[in-house]
Structure 1
Amino acid sequence: MSQGEVLVPLDGSPLADEALREALALFDAPVTVLNVVTPLDSGMSEGGVLQRDEQREAAAMERADSLVARASDRAASQGRTVETVVETGEPAETILAYVEANDVDHVVMGGHGGPDAGLAERLLGTVATKVVTESPTSVTVVR
């Protein structure tokens, strides 16, 4: 059966790594890994003008490039290739925008949840909860 793209959002967590393993094992379809770099808040300079911390921003982009490169290496070790994408934005919104703009048939992602969140957020994590509830396509959450 022909399948469209499988999207795997990566954040560097063990659950995201597991999501990539699951996607590669379960789907015989093109896999894209997406890392979303969250924009850094601007800080106030001595003159009161908002400035970005360029070193922190460069480090965040370097980390993102490293994450997707590692994912590409992991896929290659399994005889597969993955498309790699790095975007900047709010994670859930960026993932959903990518799904809408591309031929994504399935999202496979890690779920994170903490004890201070609501029930759904505790079970899935806030980004995963938003993607599950708003995605126009199927979503598998790896726990």
Structure 2
Amino acid sequence: MAPDHVLVPLDGSPLADDALAHALETFDCRVTVLNVVAPLDAAMSEGGVLEPGEDRREAAVARADRLVERARQQASEAGRTVETAVETGDPADTILAYVDGHDIDHVVMGGHGGSRSELARRLLGTVATAVVGEAPVTVTVVRSGS
């Protein structure tokens, strides 16, 4: 069954852009792009390494706004429109909560590898692994061919 509402989480990476392109090419339905701003005191954010402050928060929100605007432009170039959202929180938890709260029936996201010891995390990336493992809907992970 074809989805009615696809969510594409964006993190500014080329794989996330590829995931959006895949969703726009593959699914003729409502598409929402979501950028999650990690709280500045979280380990995955700049604030986990640097002192949190208003300037950092504003910079993170401005970056998120640029990412969703770039997604709107990418969709427009493909003859499509997308809905956009910016949320704050742990990326995986926020994506899963968004799925639950917004009638999402498919997620398309980029997967990132790395030097982690667990095979799934190495193949998909931490956030993608959590979403694949916990999402109540189908998740498509877009990976680079290289």
- Normalized against structure 2, the TM-score is what? 0.89
Aligned residues: 135
Q: How high is the sequence identity, in percent, across the aligned residues?
A: 66
Hey, what does 1:47 align to over in structure 2?
Answer: none
| Partner SS state of residue 128, structure 2 | helix
Hey, what does 1:115 align to over in structure 2?
Answer: 115
User: What one-letter code is carried by the residue in structure 2 that aligns with 1:84?
Assistant: T
| Partner SS state of residue 105, structure 2 | strand
| Partner SS state of residue 104, structure 1 | coil
CA distance in 1, matches of 2:18, 2:87: 21
Hey, what does 2:89 align to over in structure 1?
Answer: 89
CA distance in 2, matches of 1:41, 1:107: 27
Q: Residue 116 of structure 1: CA displacement?
A: 2.4
Hey, what does 1:20 align to over in structure 2?
Answer: 20
Structure possessing the higher radius of gyration over alpha carbons: 1
Please list every run of at least 4 consecutive aligned residues from structure 1 whose deviation after the TM superposition is greater than 4 angstroms.
Answer: none
User: What one-letter code is carried by the residue in structure 1 that aligns with 2:115?
Assistant: P
CA distance in 2, matches of 1:138, 1:3: 9
Q: Deviations over 1:90-130 (max 9, x none)?
A: 00000000000111110000001212241000010010000
Alignment of 1:10-89 (within 5 A): 10-41=10-41, 52-89=52-89
